[in-house]
Structure 1
Amino acid sequence: MVRRPGAPAAKAVAGALAVLLVLAGCSSKAKDGKESDKEGAGGVKTGVGVSGKTIALGVLTDMTGVYATLGKSVTQAQQLYVKQTNADGGVCGHQLALTVRDHGYDPQRAVAGYTELEPKVLGFTQFIGSPFVAAVKQRVDGRDKGLVLPQAWSAHLLGSPYIRVIGSTYDIETINALDFLMKKKGLKKGDKVGHVYFEGDYGENALAGSKYMAEQSGLTVVEQKIKPTDNDMTAQVAALKQAGVKAIVISAGPRQAASLVGVAAAGRFDVPIIGNNSAFAPQLLATQAGPALMKNYYVASPSLPIGADTPQAKKLVEDYKAAYPKDSLDNGVVAGWTAALAFGEALKKACAGKDLTREGVDKALLTINDFDAGFGITQDFTDPKAPSSKESVILQPDKNAVGGMKVVQQAAASAVAEGYTPGD
C-alpha cells in the first residue's frame, strides 16, 4: 500500500473519523447486527439484505457537495439499472431495491450513512469519496464483509476482497496521464510539472503516482495541496507559474479544475493541464472557463466516455435520456452504470452458486476476470491486491461531443504503469 504523508490536516481528518467509527461501533446491534444465513427458494442460501423477494442495496453518494453533479449522474444511472433489471425479472427471483443517502462529501454524514445502512443491505453499489471508504475499511474487512464498489480509485483501498475498485487507481491513472503529456504534449526529461491535489486519500495517492513517474522519467514535481473547500486556484497558478512548470496535473474536483484552467488562461500561462477522472463535469463548458478547458485541458479516465461509439454506450445514452430527459449526460453515468452492472454480475454468479449471502457475493465477484461493460476496458476482479485494470483513456472536453468529452487516446497502460506496483 502507498503510505500517506503525515500532514496535520490529514491526521486531523483521520482522527475525527476514527472517533466517529468508535461511536458507530458502540451503537451496532447485538451479535454484530447480522441475521443468521437461511435457505430460500430453490435451495439458495440468503442472509443480510435479502428478505422475501427483495435484495436491498445501499448507495452513499454526494448530491450536495464537491461532486454533486457527478453524484447525481452516478445514482440515476444505478437507479436506471435497477429499474431495467427488475422489469426483466430481477436477479435470482428477487427484485433489487436501492436505498440512497446523500453525505454531501462530509465525513460525519458519510460514516453515519454507512452505519445506518450496513445492517440492512447486502452491499453497496456506490460509495463516493476515497477518504470515507478508507474510514470504514477496517469495519468492512473485519466484521461487515459486505461488497462495496466505491466511486473512488485510491490505491489505499486495495487489498480488500470486499472493497473492489473498478479500473486503474489514482496513482496508476496519474502515471498514464503524465506519460500522455510526455509523448503528446511536449513535457520532457528535466522539466518541472505542477501537481495540485486534494489533501487526503484521493490527492495523496495521485501524488504518489506523479512522484513515481517523475523518478522514472527525470521530471521534478512541484506540489500544491488544497482542501475540497478551496475553489479559487489563483494562488496555486501563481506559484506554479513562478516555479516554471511546463505542465500541471490536478487531482481535485470539477470546480477546482475549472478555476485552475480559467485562471491559467487569463494569466496567459499556456501549459497543458490534465486531471484525474473525477476532475471534470460537462456543465463547466457553459462557464467562462469553457474555451480554455477545450483548448488546454485533458482528463485521464478509467473508461471510454458516455458518448463512445459502442453499442452499449449508444443504448445507455438512449435509455438515460428517456428516463431523465431534463438531465445532462456525463461520465458519472458510465461510472454508475458500470458499477451497478458489475454488482449485478456478481449477484447472478452467486445465485448460480446457490449462495446469495454476503460471503457468496464476495466470492462470486472474485471469479470474474473478463468483465466488460462496453466502454473500452476489460476488468479483472480476481486479485484484491491489484487494480482491476491499469489502462486509462485520455479525454478532452468538447462541447459538441455527447457528454462533453471526446477521446484523444484510446485505452492503454504506459510502460511505467505496467511495471508499477502500488506501494513502490
Structure 2
Amino acid sequence: MNTTHTRRNTAAALAVLVALTTAGCSSKARDDDGDDKPSAGGVKTGVGVSAKTIELGLLTDMTGVYATLGKSVTQAQQLYAKQVNADGGVCGRQLKLTIRDHGYDPQKALAAYAELSPKVLGFPQFLGSPFVSATKQRIDGQDKGLVMPQAWSASLLGSPYIRVVGTTYDVETINAVDFLMKEKGLKKGDKLGHVYFEGDYGENALVGSKHVAEQEGLTIVEQKIKPTDNDMSAQVAALKKAGVKAIVLSAGPRQAASLVGVAAAGKFDVPIIGNNSAFAPQLLATQAAPALEANYYVASPGLPIGADTPAAKKLVADYKAAYPSDALDNGIVAGWTGMDVFAQSLRKACEDKDLTREGLGKALLSLNSFDNDFGITHDFSDPDAPSSKQSVIMQPDKSVTGGVKVVREPLAAEAAEGFTPKAG
C-alpha cells in the first residue's frame, strides 16, 4: 500500500469533516472569543469561564481501540478535578469537566470537538493524534483554546495551543532502539522489524526507527497495519522469514498481545519493544502474559504508576479509593500529568489576571521546569519542541503495582538529543 497516498486520503477525509463541523459552529465560537471581560478581582475572562466555574472538555476513547487507556486517563482527570475542587478550585472557581467518548471514530471525534469548543476554555485531553491534527488549523486560526493531546505525534508540534506532554513518537522510538542496541544485543548490520499503525502515530514512530537505523547501520523491515488488525500472525511470519533480530511495535495493546504471543509460540525469540500506548496491564491476565514478561518492553514518557516516589504512591492510594474495581496502569499517570500541567497553567493565568484562552496559552509558555515527581522535567516554553526527549524503558511484570517495572531510568539517547522532530 502506498503510504503517502493513504495519508493523503485520510487527511482529505478528515479535512472535509473539519470543514463541515466548523461551518456549523464557527459563528458561535467567534462571538464567545470576543466576549473577554474583567470579572471580580480584576481577572479577565472569556469562553468557558464564569464567576463560579471553569469549563473544560475531555475528548476520549472509552469504547474503541484505546478504550482501556481512555478510561484510565479520563478517570484520573476526574479525580484530579475533584480534589482541586474540594480544595477551593482554581482562581476561586470550580473545574467542570464535560466528557465525550468518540470511540476512536474520526467523525465522532471531530463532531465532539465542534460541539464543545465554543463552550469550554480548553481541553486537558484530546485522544488520537489523527483527530487533533485534523482540527489543528481551526485550533490555531480560530479557536485558540489550549489542547493537551493524549497523543505524541510530531505533527502536533509547532502550535502555541496544542502542546505535547513528553517525547514525540519519533524521539521515543529512537530511545527504544537505543535500548535494544545497548541492552538487548541488536547491532550494526542487523535487521530491525517495525510493526506500525498506518497514520500519524505509527508513521511518526517509523521516522524515528529510520533515523536511528541510518545512524547505526540497521535495516528496517516494515509491516504496516490498521488499528482493526488484531491477529499479528502474518506479520510475525514475515519478520521471522526476513531474519530480524528485534522488533519495534507502534500499535495498541491488542496487537502487542498477539505479536508477542504468536512470536513465542513460533519459537521466534527476539526482543520486542512498544511505544507508550502499546501495553495495558490487563494483558497480564491473558495467555500472552508469560511471553510478555519474558520478551516485551515498553518505552514511556514518564515513570510508571508503581514508581517509588511520593507522588506515585499517593496517586495509587487515591485512585484505588476512588475506583476500587479498576486496574492501575500508566494511562492514570498520563491523565494526571496532563491535568496537572493544565491546572498549573490556569493558576499562572489567574496570577496574571487573564483567564482567557490567550492568557492561558501565555501562562503555559512560562512553565519551563514542570516536575510532578514522575521522573521527567518538562519545558513548555518552545511550541516547536516536545516538552522532553527522555524516555523510561519498562518491562511487564504482574507482581508489581501497575504491571510494569522500570528497567532503564529516564534517558535521552545521544541520537535522540541530536534529532529535531519535524513540526506539523
Class of the TM-score when normalised by the shorter of the 2 chains: over 0.9
Secondary structure of the residue aligned to 2:350 is helix
Residue type of the alignment partner of 1:255: R
2:40–2:51 contact (8 Å) kept in structure 1 = no
2:280–2:329 contact (8 Å) kept in structure 1 = yes
- Give the equivalent residue in structure 2 for 1:156: 155
Distance in 2 between residues matched to 1:201 and 1:249, nearest whole Å = 16
Residue type of the alignment partner of 1:219: L
Distance in 2 between residues matched to 1:34 and 1:403, nearest whole Å = 45
1:58–1:117 contact (8 Å) kept in structure 2 = yes
- Give the equivalent residue in structure 1 for 2:45: 46
Distance in 2 between residues matched to 1:273 and 1:55, nearest whole Å = 43
Distance in 2 between residues matched to 1:157 and 1:410, nearest whole Å = 26
Residue type of the alignment partner of 2:340: L
Distance in 1 between residues matched to 2:190 and 2:31, nearest whole Å = 55
Whether 1:27 aligns to 2:24 is: yes
Shift of 1:25: 1.6
How many pairs align?
A: 420
Greater than 6 Å deviation, 4+ residue runs? none
1:74–1:334 contact (8 Å) kept in structure 2 = yes
Distance in 2 between residues matched to 1:268 and 1:371, nearest whole Å = 45
- Give the equivalent residue in structure 2 for 1:302: 301
- Give the equivalent residue in structure 2 for 1:252: 251
- Give the equivalent residue in structure 1 for 2:260: 261
Secondary structure of the residue aligned to 1:51 is coil
Residue type of the alignment partner of 1:83: K
Shift of 1:12: 2.2
- Give the equivalent residue in structure 1 for 2:382: 383
- Give the equivalent residue in structure 1 for 2:11: 14
Instruction: Give TM-score scaled by structure 1 length.
Output: 0.98
Shift of 1:26: 1.2
1:34–1:48 contact (8 Å) kept in structure 2 = no
- Give the equivalent residue in structure 1 for 2:215: 216
Structure 2, unaligned runs of 5 or more: none
- Give the equivalent residue in structure 2 for 1:354: 353
Secondary structure of the residue aligned to 2:291 is helix
Shift of 1:15: 1.5
Residue type of the alignment partner of 1:7: T
Distance in 2 between residues matched to 1:12 and 1:215, nearest whole Å = 29
Residue type of the alignment partner of 2:37: K
Distance in 1 between residues matched to 2:52 and 2:192, nearest whole Å = 55
- Give the equivalent residue in structure 1 for 2:187: 188
Shift of 1:29: 4.4
Within 5 Å, give how 1:12-411 maps onto structure 2: 12-30=9-27, 32-35=29-32, 36-411=35-410
Residue type of the alignment partner of 2:24: S
- Give percent identity, aligned residues only: 75
Distance in 2 between residues matched to 1:415 and 1:308, nearest whole Å = 25
Shift of 1:34: 3.4
Residue type of the alignment partner of 1:419: G
1:234–1:263 contact (8 Å) kept in structure 2 = yes
Secondary structure of the residue aligned to 2:90 is coil
Distance in 1 between residues matched to 2:174 and 2:155, nearest whole Å = 16
Residue type of the alignment partner of 1:13: T
